[in-house]
Structure 1
Amino acid sequence: MKYTGERVLPDTMNPMNGMLLEHIARYQFAIYYSKGRVLDIASGSGFGTQLIAKAAKSRLQEVVGVDIDQEATDYANGRYYHPLVTYKTADAADPFLPETLGKFDAIFSFETIEHISGEISFLRNLFAMLKPGGTLVISTPFGLGRGQPTTEPFHVHQLTEKEFFSLFDGYNHIERYYQRGVLIEPGRPGRHYPIGIAVCIK
């Protein structure tokens, strides 16, 4: 699979690569919320999808990894196979996605929303696919805000902290977390965090 500057391919990266360690930390964080039927949307190479399946296998029925790139799906099937995992190629903003994939007990979406111009359709899909009482864990890097320029060539824009956390007001409960390197915590006053993580209960 081609490296685009955004793909996390552990086999081709230094084990101490900062981006790799950040991604691993997010999946480790998500293990706690993994149960029943789980969706990993924008699953990329599949390493995190498999990580979840291995770590939480006793609590899982199925893990579905979805990515828009067929090459990524093929790579994931070949490199990160697990009997509990199914990889599919699909557009996260496709309005028919909930009908295609069904309902989930937990949905994970890491570093995805900043790539999607159809943000509203994507968020509607996440809500529709989550079972009542289910958990959405979603992360994004903070930036200048919706419609503002970003130095990242693959990002549509990067939301502000306020814009990001306001997206989930329709959920019954929201917990705010922040990430800096491998550290994920509720946040401390005066400390700068480049990445936000929302844990949302429907």
Structure 2
Amino acid sequence: MVIALLEWTGERIIPKLLKPTNGMLLEHIARYYFAAPYVKGRVLDIACGTGYGCHMIAKDRKRELTELIGVDDDEATILYANREYNHQKITYQQGDALDPALPEQLGLFDTILSFETIEHVADDLLFMDNLYRMLKPGGTLVLSSPFGRGRGKETSEPFHVHQLTPEEFAELFVRYSDVDMYYQRGVTFEKTPRDGVRYFIGMAVCTK
């Protein structure tokens, strides 16, 4: 079951099949550790994948969160998450991040997490609108994305629709009252880009 899941779920991370030193695994785990201090109340992890990140957050922030909903569009991935990363405060369910009915189905959240998702969706603006509708006033969105050639342009990654430029990424958050931008290098996050350093991942922390 696990091997089959790895073969046809694209970039979804399965920690139990990867070495602890795997760079992609460490980067993904780092994003959840980065986001953990912002988590409180009712929480959504959109495109939660195999559920390891939801489980990390639920254990680390068990006193601060009341409920965590993990949503992914793949049925087998959700089944795996339920089996391997079950927790009393987590509910995993199948859902499409671009479904206009999703906000009505899921309700409002105090915190929304979205890591390495937006590059996979055909309409990033519709995706962002869904997130905005689901976030409570005063709530926090933590969202990451790889940088690339820009919206509508091909990438070398087979599972990516496109990768936004840093400028396009920043423009996604104009509706938010407060935005802090960070840049990920490996497992570290930097607030101020350094001259001569190329950053591949952007991380935005936004308050509605």
Q: Shorter-normalised TM-score: what interval?
A: over 0.9
Q: Report the aligned-residue RMSD.
A: 0.8
Shift of 1:152: 0.1
Pairwise CA distance, 1:163: 0.3
TM-score between the two structures when normalised by the length of structure 2: 0.95
Q: Which runs of 5+ in 2 are unaligned?
A: none
Q: Give the structure 2 partner of residue 88 of structure 1.
A: 93
Aligned counterpart for 2:39 among listed residues 34, 40, 43: 34
The reply to whether residue 150 of structure 1 matches residue 151 of structure 2 is no
- How do residues 153-164 of structure 1 correspond to structure 2 at under 5 angstroms? 153-164=158-169
Candidates 71, 86, 99, aligned match of 1:66 = 71
Q: 2:204 aligns with which of 164, 174, 198?
A: 198
Which secondary structure does the structure 1 equivalent of 2:38 belong to? coil
Letter in 2 for 1:43: C
Look up the equivalent residue of 2:182 and give its one-letter code: Y
What percent of counterpart residues are identical? 57
Q: Where does residue 126 of structure 1 map in the other structure?
A: 131
What is the Cα deviation at residue 192 of structure 1?
Answer: 1.5
User: Contact 2:125–2:172 (CA<8 Å) still a contact in 1?
Assistant: no
Partners of 1:146 and 1:118 in 2: CA distance: 10
What is the DSSP-based 3-state SS (H/G/I as helix, E as strand, rest coil) of the residue aligned with 1:100?
helix
Query: Residue 5 of structure 1: CA displacement?
Result: 4.5
Cα distance in 1, alignment partners of residues 201 and 13 from structure 2: 17
Report the number of matched residues.
202
Whole-angstrom CA distance in 1 between matches of 2:194 and 2:171: 19
What stretches of structure 1 move > 4 A for 4+ residues in a row?
Answer: none
Q: Aligned letter for 1:201?
A: T
TM-score relative to the length of structure 1: 0.98
Which runs of 5 or more structure 1 residues have no equivalent in the other structure?
none
Aligned to 1:117: 122
